Copies of this chain bind each other. A is one copy, B any other.
Amino acid sequence: MPGTPPTRFVYLGPEGTFAEQALRSLPAAERGTRTPARSVGEALDSVRAGDADAALVPLENSIGGAVGVTLDEMAEGEPLVITREVVLSVEFVLAARPGTSLTEIHTVAAHPQASTQCRGWLRDHLPDAVVVDVLSNGAAAAGAGTGEYDAAICAPIGASGHRLTTLADKIADHPDAVTRFALVSRPGPPPPPTGDDLTSLAVYIAHDRVGALLSVLMELAVRGVNLTRIESRPTGEALGRYVFFLDCTGHVADVRLGEALQGLRRVCADVRFLGSYPRHRWAGTAGQRPVPAPAGLSDVDYADAAAWLTRLRTGELT
């Protein structure tokens, strides 16, 4: 982010969750202040109000469950923009106070979505334990730390934060699961393009017709812009009117994405720009290379075509 870098961070709390772990992977956040928020809305509002410089909130596949809420909160109210994404491996651990053995565990605290993701492991290793629902992974770790429960399903950061011992790690049924977080700030110049960027949009369509969505996709396709995510959400007033959240390859500063954005602006009821930011490369994408621009759609091709058009307009045909 150009200008003064953020120093005051807020994140979806409580402490000891994957969101805190994701935030602390950013050097600036490690150096700055980190305040948990009770909800995504509260986190974003504290940025809007100027009480924080940036908020880290879950975007996708969140075991905290708040994806839809994040999208809705970004689409309404004062505009905010994503300046970074952080993709984190969701490595659940079973943690307990030091000295506890697996056979001594009769109660396990867990967020309902966390216990859902570890159903297979629990069935195989703790078939008789009672799973107690709590409000977050952090609350589970805290409850195990105070002795309220024998153990907790939580994030590694939750175990270490409450001085728990890890009895088993990577206990989720899908060992490769990840959660995607966004760092969100007040509007400003976007981070410079890196050649491997994403752009997030909220696109409003007047009707729920497939033809309207086809028009949106055609605006992208003719400029060689790929979608990595699409999600329709009801607009709040009633089901049946929709906003589409799109993640596209490319940066607002790229010629072809710029042309595609203008096209969306013209054909859609409304478009809200939610930020251009570098794609996070992580372990699961180690072997993947950024997809180059399709033939004819690089910035060089755009410049060539623009020069050709100028010659046509002045009568200097080749």
Chain A residues near B (Cβ < 8 Å): 38-41, 60-61, 65-69, 79, 81, 87, 112-113, 115-116, 119, 131, 133-135, 174, 176-178, 180, 187-190, 208-211, 213-215, 217-222, 225-234, 236-240, 242, 244, 252-253, 258-259, 261-263, 265-267, 273, 284-285, 288, 296-297, 301-302, 304-306, 308-309, 312-318
Residues of B within 8 A of A259 (CB): 259
Residues of B within 8 A of A285 (CB): 238, 240
9 A-B contacts (beta carbon < 8 Å)? A39-B112, A61-B234, A112-B135, A211-B221, A218-B222, A230-B230, A262-B309, A265-B305, A267-B296
Which one of B133, B242, B252 lies within 8 Å of A135 (CB-CB)? B133
Supposing A226-B209, A230-B230, A266-B301 touch, asked if A284 and B239 sit within 8 A by C-beta, the answer is: yes
Which one of B116, B217, B238, B267 lies within 8 Å of A210 (CB-CB)? B217
The answer to whether A210 and B214 touch across the interface, beta carbons within 8 angstroms, is: no
The answer to whether A230 and B228 touch across the interface, beta carbons within 8 angstroms, is: no
Residues of B within 8 A of A40 (CB): 116
Q: What is the bound-complex CA distance between A175 and B82, given in angstroms?
A: 29
- Residue among A187, A225, A314 facing the most chain B CB atoms (10 A cut-off): A187
The answer to whether B312 and A261 touch across the interface, beta carbons within 8 angstroms, is: yes
Shortest beta-carbon distance, A122 to chain B, in Å? 12
Residues of B within 8 A of A119 (CB): 41
Residues of B within 8 A of A115 (CB): 39
Q: Which 4 A-B pairs have the closest CB atoms?
A: A262-B305, A266-B296, A189-B315, A187-B317
The A interface, classified by DSSP as helix, strand, loop or mixed, is mixed
* Given A178-B238, A228-B240, A240-B284; 12 other pairs, CB 8 A cutoff: A38-B112, A68-B68, A69-B116, A190-B312, A214-B221, A218-B222, A229-B232, A238-B285, A240-B288, A258-B313, A266-B296, A266-B302
The answer to whether B68 and A187 touch across the interface, beta carbons within 8 angstroms, is: no
Shortest beta-carbon distance, A199 to chain B, in Å? 10
Residues of B within 8 A of A237 (CB): 174, 176
Shortest beta-carbon distance, A2 to chain B, in Å? 8
Residues of B within 8 A of A188 (CB): 315
Which one of B38, B218, B253 lies within 8 Å of A133 (CB-CB)? B38
Shortest beta-carbon distance, A149 to chain B, in Å? 14
The answer to whether A67 and B68 touch across the interface, beta carbons within 8 angstroms, is: yes
Supposing A209-B226, A317-B79, A317-B187 touch, asked if A302 and B262 sit within 8 A by C-beta, the answer is: yes
Shortest beta-carbon distance, A67 to chain B, in Å? 6
The answer to whether A226 and B210 touch across the interface, beta carbons within 8 angstroms, is: yes
The answer to whether B66 and A239 touch across the interface, beta carbons within 8 angstroms, is: no
Residues of B within 8 A of A301 (CB): 266
Q: What is the chain B residue whose CB lies nearest that of A314?
A: B189
Residues of B within 8 A of A218 (CB): 214, 218, 221-222
Shortest beta-carbon distance, A106 to chain B, in Å? 17
